[in-house]
Each structure stands twice: as C-alpha cells, then as structure tokens.
Amino acid sequence: MASKKVTIEDVARHAGVGIATVSRAINNGEGISAKTRTRILQKIEELGFVPNTSAQSLKVRLTNQIALAVPDIRNAIIPDIAWAVEQAAKAHGYRVVQINTAGNARAELEVVRDIKKLHVDGLIIMPLAYPKTLPELINKAGVPISVINYGKQLDSTLQADIVCLSMLEGQLVMDHLKQIGRSRIAYAGTQKDVIEDRYLAYERALDRVDASLVYFGDDFSLQTGTRAADYFHGLAHMPDAVYAVNDMVAIGLVNRFKELGVRVPEEVAVVGVDNNQWTTISSPQISSVSIMGSEVARLAAELLLKRIRDQIIGDYEKVQFEPRLIVRESSVSLKRSAMHDA
C-alpha cells in the first residue's frame, strides 16, 4: 500500500507555522527568522516532503502591501494612527496604502467590496458609518481584516480581529464633569448615530436629557465646535460644561468661547476625546480622554500582519485597551483653581 503523500500543509502543521511561512523557507523569501527557517527545513527532511515540480509553484503571491482605511484624514488623531500602522508594516517589509472614507457608508462598503482590486494582502479599517451590510462584506472579503473600533456596536459574527476600548470614553468625560460640580452639561458633536456610544454615554449619565443642550453638527471639525459655541452662547441659560465628541470640536469650542468673552473653565468647562497633540498647545490646554490611538493602531497592524504571514484562518482576536482621562486647564475644579489663586 502506497504511503500518503506529504503535503506543504503537513510540513506547516509539524513545524507549527503557517503555509506562507513554509513557502518563504522553501523559496528563501524575506520575513522569516533563521531559526524558523532551519526548523522548517528540518521538518521537510524528516517528513520527506518533495515540492511539486519546483519550489516556485509553492510561492504565496503576496504584494507586501496592506491598506488602511480611515474616516477623516483631517482629524488630528489620524496621523498618529497612520504613523503607527506604517511603522509596524515597515518593520515587516510592508508598505501601506491609505484610503480616506470620509466616514461615508458607501465609501466604507466600496473599500471592503473592492479590496482585492487594490492588490493588497490585508486591510485595517476604522469604520465610522458602519453600514448594516458591512459585516457581511468583511466576512466575504477574501483577505484578512483588522478593525479599529471606537464607539460602534459591532456585529458578533464579524470575521476580523478587533482592537477597541474596554469602556465608553464618554463615561469618563461625564463622570469627571460631575465630579467637578458641573450640573448643566451640554454635548457637541456630529449626529448621534455616528460614534453612537459617545453620545449614549452622555444620555446614560443624565437623569433626563435637555434637548436644548445638545448640538449636532455635520462632522468632527473645528467648525462644528465653533458653531456649537455660538449656539450655546445664544441660549437664555448657557451650559456650565460641554462634552465634545472629539478634540477638534473641543478646540473649536474653546477658541470661539474666548472670542465671545466666555471664560473656560470658570464659566464653561470643556472636555474632548482623542488626546491629540493640539490639546496641549491650545490655551487653555484641553482636557481629553486618551483613546490610545498609536497603541491601538500598532496592535491592529501586528494582528493583521501575523494573520497574513502565517495564513491564519479563524480564531479572531478582540483586544481591549483602557481609555485614560487627562485633566488639563479646560476642566480643572473651580475649588482647586481658587485654592491655587489664594
């Protein structure tokens, strides 16, 4: 009876690596350590594996490129995310193709639907619109995908590695504003179904939402913050604090309040989300929740590259980071400020 033919899958299993790694070892490819290459070659000899016709037929056709789809390249947190992904990719010999979806549902769907046309080996996507059909497309994409998730309720059947936060960043904002004695707290951001959990944290922290204290703009820009400040300033009874959906909106609020003669934080405290670099050079410096952008992005890239490198299917990971509140001048306690002045 003829013995069973040894396959490349057998070699991969015995060596404890993916098929792509075995292919690299056979073809003297890059992205594999000398130790791993030696172990694979030893297993090939032990098992008596003979490549079909030539080793060339075993090559896994990789482009050494991955795509990064972000919602708004104007947002100051995005460069930090893009830089972290690029550095992780470069360390593994990969290039990054960056795509701006503008937080548009159709654009997010098109990126995933057409991902193979981009000639990349995998995708990191940061969904903002998160249309209902996106999970189905991700599951059928045909390339590995990592999802960077901030404030979206993701489908439980999603076949992708997910990197997200362990709790609602907005909860940290609201807890802080209450602790420093603010009671008339407003919300400024884009429509509540976009990064919905940030708005939900606002709702949950209040016994009742005063609709007059909620401002929904068009996007996450400085202009949204500027318009929100004008709106709140025009109220008969202004808020004593504003929770901004992100730092760009928070900066717009603070700058416009200064122009209007509204003192921050004495009259109105302001807190944002992202902890981008501009919060520390604004005057006053702006309190913000760090969403660990660089760390989240780096891990999303590492998970994707490992899945590509080792040809892993299934066993999707969900990793959560702890958001951190950074208290700065825009929301210091008035009691603490008075003690400092004394």
The average pLDDT across 281-286 equals 95
Distance CA 266, CA 279 (A): 18
Per-residue pLDDT, 288? 97
DSSP string, 146-214: EEE-SS----TT--SEEEEESS-HHHHHHHHHHHTT--SEEEEES-TTTTHHHHHHHHHHSSS--GGGE
Domains contained in the chain, CATH given: 8-58 (1.10.260.40), 65-166+292-323 (3.40.50.2300), 169-290+326-341 (3.40.50.2300)
* Confidence at 292, pLDDT banded by 50, 70, 90: very high
The first and second tokens of residue 87, run together, are 């550095």
Per-residue pLDDT, 51? 64
* Confidence at 29, pLDDT banded by 50, 70, 90: low
3-state secondary structure of 274: strand
- 4 burial type by CB count under 10 A (0-12 exposed, 13-18 middle, 19+ buried): exposed
What percent of the chain clears pLDDT 90, i.e. is strictly above it?
62
pLDDT tens figures, 176-224: 999 999 999 999 998 877 778 899 999 999 989 999 999 999 888 999 9
Question: Do 70 and 81 touch, CB atoms closer than 8 A?
Answer: yes
Distance CA 308, CA 64 (A): 10
Question: Do 115 and 140 touch, CB atoms closer than 8 A?
Answer: no
* Confidence at 53, pLDDT banded by 50, 70, 90: very low
pLDDT tens figures, 59-112: 456 788 999 999 988 888 899 999 999 999 999 999 999 999 988 999 999 999
Per-residue pLDDT, 60? 52
Cα torsion 283, 289, 292, 293: sign: negative
Per-residue pLDDT, 341? 44
| DSSP-derived secondary structure letter, 269 | E
Per-residue pLDDT, 339? 44
Distance CA 213, CA 239 (A): 7
* Confidence at 335, pLDDT banded by 50, 70, 90: low
Per-residue pLDDT, 8? 80
Per-residue pLDDT, 272? 97
Q: In what order do the strands lie in the sheet with 123-125?
A: 95-100, 65-70, 123-125, 145-148, 161-165, 318-321
Cβ–Cβ contacts within 10 Å for residue 201, how many? 22
Per-residue pLDDT, 320? 93
What percent of the chain clears pLDDT 70, i.e. is strictly above it?
92
Per-residue pLDDT, 63? 83
**Average pLDDT, rounded, for the chain:** 88
The average pLDDT across 251-277 equals 96
Per-residue pLDDT, 3? 56
Per-residue pLDDT, 270? 98
pLDDT of 54 above 60: no
Distance CA 40, CA 50 (A): 13
pLDDT of 30 above 70: no
pLDDT tens figures, 125-154: 999 888 999 999 999 998 999 999 987 778
The pTM score is 0.75
Per-residue pLDDT, 318? 94
pLDDT of 38 above 50: yes
Peptide bond into 265 cis (omega under 30): yes
- Where are any strands of DSSP class E within the chain? 65-70, 95-100, 123-125, 145-148, 161-165, 185-189, 214-216, 241-244, 269-274, 287-290, 318-321, 324-326
